[in-house]
Amino acid sequence: MGKVALVTGGTRGIGKAVSLALKAEGYTVAATYAGNDEKAAAFTDETGIATYKWDVSDYEACAAGIAKVEEDLGPIEVLVNNAGITRDAPFHKMKPEQWREVIDTNLSGVFNMTHPVWPGMRERKFGRIIMISSINGQKGQFAQANYAAAKAGDIGFTKALAQEGARAGITVNVVAPGYINTDMMATIPEKVMDSIVGAIPVGRLGEAEEIARAVVFLASEDAGFITGSTLTANGGQYMA
């Protein structure tokens, strides 16, 4: 069995592409999902990748879920914090629960998943932790005060943790995708979508596989000198 990689939100969208790309590289992959059992079962049938269900916003569930994955597959050496949600609204209409849900999942979820794997990675003197942030955590976005705050928070979290992990052989990095062709785009009204694509210099949305390849590189032994960095993959829309 190859090194164990855990991908949160790993059955759909960017997470699915990351799960498949890591599997193709020889990793033993565990993919988590939050909701749809049927879709997760279909994913396992299609890919042979094991799935586990828990809510990344729940610390106890993360700790228990990670313990189960490690019991089934072995120690987690690569963690990809991909799970994320949007609850877009202009700030004057944003409800406290829209703020909380996004912060709890997209920012606290990253703490909840990383904290339980950290001691094992420190002991084994190896780890790869990769955050999937967003262009909107770098540049801000109308109607995303919640999402932009969480995704920017993920970048700060990474920079702090990279310093703590460095001597223990743990690298911590961010991939910041731009607008990628996934289900998440379906929440954006069509006329807004046209102006988004118009603002992307390469003239198209990104593909999930293009993000997955960046993750595979950061997970590799070859990327051992890269830590605390943010790899931007957005078709030239924002050059951080």
Binds ligand CAA by CB under 6 A, chosen from 63, 103, 168, 184: 184
Q: Please state, in angstroms and as integers, the Cα–Cα distance from residue 191 to each residue in 32, 106, 139, 194, 203, following that order.
A: 33, 27, 21, 5, 16
Cβ atoms 155, 106 nearer than 8 A:
no
Handedness of CA 68, 70, 74, 77 (dihedral sign): positive
Q: How many helices (H) and strands (E) does the chain have?
A: 9, 7
**Which of the ranges 8-16, 45-53, 135-143, 209-217 carries the binding residues for ligand CAA, by CB under 6 A?**
135-143
Q: Where does this chain touch ligand CAA (CB under 6 A) — which range of 18-26, 73-81, 156-164, 181-189? A: 181-189
Q: Give me the helix-helix angle, 59-73 and 109-124, nearest 10°.
A: 40
Is residue 179 close enough to count as binding ligand CAA by CB under 6 A?
Answer: yes
Stretch that binds ligand CAA, among 17-25, 109-117, 183-191, 205-213 (CB under 6 A): 183-191
Pattern 80-109, ligand CAA, x by CB under 6 A = ------x-xxx--x----------------
Q: Which of 27, 33, 52, 147 is catalytic?
A: 147
Contacting ligand CAA (CB under 6 A), which of 134, 173, 227, 232? 134
| Sign of the torsion formed by the C-alpha atoms of 33, 130, 20 and 134 | positive
Tell me: does residue 197 bind ligand CAA (CB under 6 A): no
Question: How many residues bind ligand CAA, per CB under 6 A?
Answer: 18
Q: Does 32 bind ligand CAA (CB under 6 A)?
A: no
Interface with ligand CAA in residues 138-177 (CB under 6 A): 141-144, 147
238 classed as catalytic: no
Q: Judged by CB under 6 A, which of 192, 199, 202, 240 binds ligand CAA?
A: 192
Is 135 among the residues that bind ligand CAA (CB under 6 A)? yes
Instruction: Report how far apart, in Å, the C-alpha atoms of 10 and of each of 17, 132, 168 are.
Output: 8, 12, 27
Report the alpha-carbon distance of residue 149 to residue 179 in Å, rounded: 17
Instruction: Single out the residue of 61, 60, 72, 162 nearest to residue 121, CA to CA.
Output: 162
- Number of neighbours of residue 6 by Cβ within 10 angstroms: 29
Which residues of this chain interact with ligand CAA, rule CB under 6 A?
86, 88-90, 93, 134-136, 141-144, 147, 179, 184, 188-189, 192
Q: Tell me the catalytic residues.
A: 147
